[in-house]
Amino acid sequence: MWISGEIATTRRSATERTGLARSHEMIRIDTKEGPIFAVAEIQGIPINPLQPPFMDHIDPIRRWESQAERVWVRQPWIAETGESREIFYIGPTDTRPKSWGRFATREGAVEYVLNPPLQTAQVKLSDDELNF
């Protein structure tokens, strides 16, 4: 499965940990790979993270070498803009985050991450089946 059961173990506010005041209170989500600061967290999914990974092309090996980037591998997050909530995800061999879609509600986006639709089976058809 692509979601670790150890995503969110401890939450503390960013101001408590860093002494920085922000317009929105940030929480700290401790993961196996390091902390993530976000506006909110629902069932281990960061909402509007403070420093999401670079959206540009990054060699997967370089991403694994950087702790700031490695924390995001296999960690979906939700970015909220206006009336839209977009889910992003980076797989171990991805060169940039991929969008899993946009949703009208935060709850809809979280539900999609936690219970993704089943993938259809890919069946290779023979030439005989294709020549009709």
pLDDT of residue 36: 93
Neighbours of 109 (CB within 10 A): 26
What gap in Å lies between CA 80 and CA 62, rounded to an integer? 27
Neighbours of 86 (CB within 10 A): 15
pLDDT of residue 89: 93
pLDDT of residue 55: 73
Token pair 């960690």 in the structure block, residue: 75
φ/ψ of 91, rounded to 5, equals -85, 165
Token pair 């591998």 in the structure block, residue: 73
Structure tokens, 33:
């790979």
Per-residue pLDDT of the chain (132 residues; tens, 9 = 90+): 333 333 333 344 443 433 333 446 899 999 888 899 999 999 999 999 988 877 777 777 777 777 778 888 899 999 999 899 999 999 888 888 999 999 999 999 999 999 988 776 666 767 666 665
